[in-house]
Amino acid sequence: MGSDYRITSAQPTDFDAIVALLQKNAAGNGGALNGNYPPERVANMLDRATAYTLVAKREGTVVGILFSALSAENSPPVVSAMLEAWPPGRECWLYGPVCIAASERGQGLLRPLYAAMREHYGSKTPVLFIQSNNIPSLRAHQHLGMQEVARFDCDDESFWVLTDAA
């Protein structure tokens, strides 16, 4: 099924679809995605100097997105807490958030999104956090070869830090 997706860097024309996908899957709306995603925040995430964002489309519709950055500058407090729990050094990139439309989950979309992002960053190592009660996300990332390297708490929530570093 993964071949049915077109994965490209996010473009300005994707903005409204990206915001809609993130908002629909945010925890505040019954999804599992940590955080809130008003348009202003999404614009800031996309416009960060070290950001690189991929979108996956099926039949022209955005059905997946993977954010990344090389710097934690202007990140929410949870990113700083993650980096305190596992200081990965200069050879890492910040993975996430990632969001897959409900209609596409279990169809293999995360793997090609992740592979495209890995190709972009070369030998650099990803680091990410997952809320400890988000077992489906933990399992999906373990299937990519990621493993837990630390745990931390932030704003009364518990998180796992994952990476694919040996």
Q: Which domain holds residue 131?
A: 2-163
Average pLDDT over residues 64-84: 89
Confidence category of residue 162, pLDDT binned at 50, 70, 90? very high
pLDDT of amino acid 1: 45
Per-residue pLDDT tens over the stretch 78-116? 998 999 998 876 678 999 999 999 999 889 999 999 999
CATH number at residue 7: 3.40.630.30
Q: Which amino acid is at 153?
A: D
Run of H or E residues at 24: helix 15-25
Task: Please state the φ and ψ torsions of residue 2, each to the nearest 5 degrees.
Answer: -55, -25
Question: With 80 as the cut, is the pLDDT of residue 43 above it?
Answer: yes
**Looking at the predicted structure, is the pLDDT value of residue 68 above 90?**
yes
Length of the chain: 166
Number of domains observed in the structure of the chain: 1
